[in-house]
Amino acid sequence: MAPLFWILLGVVLLAIVGLGTIIGFAWPLIAYVAVGAVIGGLGRLLVAGTSGIGILPTLLAGLIGSVAGGIIAETADLGRVLGFVVSVLIAAVAVAIVVMRSGDEGAGPAGR
């Protein structure tokens, strides 16, 4: 679709829902990205051999850890500190999965 369509759609949505609603929705997303980056970095520190993965997989693993840890902590009523620990551990597992997957892709059929 033409870029003009997307610009007009954005203007119409802004007029319908209001700028305050959009900004109010964006701040939690920005917070999840920031917390996800920190949690992904901490999770990456717990896993050996992570030098082969980049920032984006680390950030995504941190987002997974942040959201999943928050849901688990809220469901189990663990509190913020244990929720943070659970988030970091889940991010470490996600980083380990990314490292294993990237290692499998680089090995090729002969290396397996």
As a whole number of angstroms, the distance between CA 19 and CA 67 comes to 26
Looking at per-residue pLDDT, the higher value among 62 and 13 belongs to: 62
**Mean pLDDT (whole number) for 9-34:** 69
Task: Tell me the mean pLDDT in the region 6-35.
Answer: 70
Per domain, the residue ranges of the chain are 25-107
**What pLDDT, on a 0 to 100 scale, did the predictor assign at position 78?**
82
CA pair distance 5, 9, nearest whole angstrom: 6
User: pLDDT tens-digit profile of 57-83?
Assistant: 877 887 888 788 778 877 888 877 887
> H helices within 18-111, ranges in order?
19-45, 55-76, 80-107
pTM: 0.59
The per-residue pLDDT for range 35-63, each reduced to its tens digit, is 777 877 777 787 777 677 777 887 788 78
